[in-house]
Amino acid sequence: MKRDLIIDSQRVRPASAAGLYYPAGKQILSRDLSVMLENAPVASVPRPIRGMIVPYAGYVYSGGVAARAYRQIMQHEYEVIVVIGSSGNETFDCISIYPGSAFETPLGNIPVHKHLAYKLSAAHPDIQLTNSGFDPGDQAIEVQMPFLSYVQEKPEILPIMMCSETLYTMEILREGLIEVLQGRDFLLVSCSELSRGYNDSQARKLDTRTLETINRFSAEELHAGIIDHDCEMAGFGPAVAVMKVSQHFGARQSQIMLYRTSGEVTGKRDNVVGFASAIFY
């Protein structure tokens, strides 16, 4: 793994999932985002939303679920949006911050908040500016970009990828984010999905336990449930980190926005993926 010491102002993460996970054309993508967001009800929340969990499958499967969360931030412009994913394609030891200047989307490029990227990478030796986790096969963060481009006027992002989801890794990320986000108006986004490989009935039973834990807003209980195999979540490390940092900055409640399985879209109920969105405020 090569560690970058500076951010390459010429490096832009390409929209490699465009045309596969979401439309590649600007007009069609804008139309699809508009429809999904218009169909999402607005929740009444007493405090600013500090964190959310959203899925990262193709929009035909989970776009409507993600839209339920993203609809809630359309009236609030954030200074920076921290987007955290978990790599499924690479193995690396550090917490990886994208060392480029922007993420490409069909709606336009979204710039990386360079100052915070540098600051976070200086917070701990195991938080590094590297390209690890950002190859074209890891689309978890990428599929959030069109939503962010649509619901925020001028978003700046801090893209972070995890590989190891140990307590140690989650804790140094928690501490680093608390340090760099102090005094800023931010949103944390966890790219996470629920159970995989079960039939629809089994998935719903397992996912219900996970959702109940998230709804209780207990990061410790969620992590314990994953370890004990009472809960399942792809990208549980980002979810636990987002919950803990949100709580540190005053979030006191969690709300599940929508849950569904891939079987509701495909009609195939023998092997499904669970999708959910949640907000923390």
User: What CATH number corresponds to the domain at position 175?
Assistant: 3.40.830.10
Q: Are 227 and 121 in contact (CB under 8 A)?
A: no
How many domains does one find in the chain? 1
In 124-237, the DSSP E strands lie at 127-130, 157-162, 186-191, 196-198
Return d(Cα 77, Cα 279) in angstroms, integer.
16
Give the contacts of 223 (CB within 8 A, at least 6 positions apart): 167, 170, 236, 240
- What is the predicted pLDDT for the residue at 56? 98
Convert the pLDDT of each residue in 9-44 to its tens digit: 899 999 999 999 999 999 999 999 999 999 999 999
The share of the chain scoring above pLDDT 90, in percent, equals 94
- What is the predicted pLDDT for the residue at 248? 98
Return d(Cα 167, Cα 203) in angstroms, integer.
26
Q: For 35-54, what is the HEC assignment?
A: HHHHCCCCCCCCCCCCEEEE
* Token output for 89: 């394609």
Bridge pairing between strands 186-191 and 80-86 = parallel
Bridge pairing between strands 3-4 and 127-130 = antiparallel
Is residue 1's pLDDT more than 60?
no
What pairs with residue 53 in β-bridges?
190, 278
Q: What are the distances in angstroms from CA 185 to CA 123, 144, 210?
A: 19, 19, 29
Q: Are 239 and 190 in contact (CB under 8 A)?
A: yes
- What is the predicted pLDDT for the residue at 3? 62
- What is the predicted pLDDT for the residue at 90? 86
- Helix (H) or strand (E) segment spanning residue 236: helix 236-248
* Token output for 21: 């996970």
* Token output for 150: 């649509």
- What is the predicted pLDDT for the residue at 89? 83
Give the contacts of 212 (CB within 8 A, at least 6 positions apart): none
> pTM of the full predicted structure?
0.96
Q: DSSP code of 16?
A: T
Average pLDDT of the segment spanning 74-92 = 94
- What is the predicted pLDDT for the residue at 2? 52
Convert the pLDDT of each residue in 181-192 to its tens digit: 999 999 999 999
Q: Are 96 and 128 in contact (CB under 8 A)?
A: yes
| End-to-end CA, the chain | 37
Per-residue confidence band for 6, with pLDDT thresholds at 50, 70 and 90? confident
Convert the pLDDT of each residue in 86-117 to its tens digit: 998 889 999 999 999 999 999 999 999 999 99
- What is the predicted pLDDT for the residue at 39? 96
What residue numbers bound the domain in which 78 lies?
A: 3-280
- What is the predicted pLDDT for the residue at 34? 98
Convert the pLDDT of each residue in 147-176 to its tens digit: 999 999 999 999 999 999 999 999 999 999
